[in-house]
Amino acid sequence: MRLFLAIQFDEPMVRALTEFQEKLRAFGMRGRFAPPENLHLTLAFIGEYAAPDAVMEAASSVPFRPVRLRLDGVGSFGNLYWAGLAKDETFAAYVKKLRGALAANEIPYDRKRFSPHITLVRNASFQGESLWPQVEPPQGETEAKGVSLMRSDRGKHGMIYTEIGWIGGE
C-alpha cells in the first residue's frame, strides 16, 4: 500500500486553488494539473508500507490542534508548480513531532525537509517570457481540523487518493 499523511482542504480552499489553475491554463501553462479531489498538503510521504494501523497508531500519539492555513505565494521544484502556505511555527513543530513519531515507530517516510506546498501542476511547461506567468497568486485560507492517512493508487487517468484513516483535533 502506498501511504501518506496529509491535510485535506474544504471546498472554499479547493475552489481558490482550482481558479488559480484555470488562470495558469489561460496564460498558456501546460502539464498534468492536479484534479480538485487530489489537492492536499502532504505532511509525511510514507510510500509502500503494509501496516496502515501502525501509521495511525504512531500519528495518533501526537496531539493535533486545529490550525488556520493561509495560501501564501507560488513556486516550483523544477517542472512541478505549487502554491505555498504562510509560515506557522506551531504547525511546523507539529509536523516535526509527527515525523518523529513515525521514526520512533520505525515507519519509513521521505525525510526531505518539510516545505509546505500544494502541488498544482506536474510536468509543467509554459510558453512565454518567464517561468511564471504574471498572475496574482491564489488567495485563501482554511481551518485544518485533522490529519488524514491517505492511500495512493494508480488509476487509468492518474493517481487516486483515498482516505483510510483520520486523526481529529480538539
3-state secondary structure 50-73: CCHHHHHHHHHCCCCCCEEEEEEE
Label residue 133 by pLDDT band (50, 70, 90): low
Query: What are the residues facing 168 on neighbouring strands?
Result: 146
Give pLDDT, residue 48.
96
Angle of the 52-60 helix axis to the 89-104 helix axis, nearest 10:
130
Can you tell me whether residue 91 is helix, strand or coil? helix
Average pLDDT in the 19-30 region? Answer: 91
Residue 158 has pLDDT above 90, yes or no: no
Average pLDDT in the 55-59 region? Answer: 97
44-79 burial by CB neighbour count: b if 16+ within 10 A, else e?
Answer: bbbeebeebeebbebbeebebeeeebebeebeeeee
Residue 131 has pLDDT above 70, yes or no: no
Average pLDDT in the 99-120 region? Answer: 96
Q: What is the pLDDT of residues 65-101, one digit of tens each?
A: 999 999 999 998 988 999 999 999 999 999 999 999 9
Q: How many CB atoms lie within 10 A of CB 163?
A: 12
Give pLDDT, residue 94.
97
Give pLDDT, residue 126.
77
**pTM for this predicted structure:** 0.93
Counting Cβ atoms within 10 Å, is residue 2 exposed (0-12), middle (13-18) or buried (19+)? middle
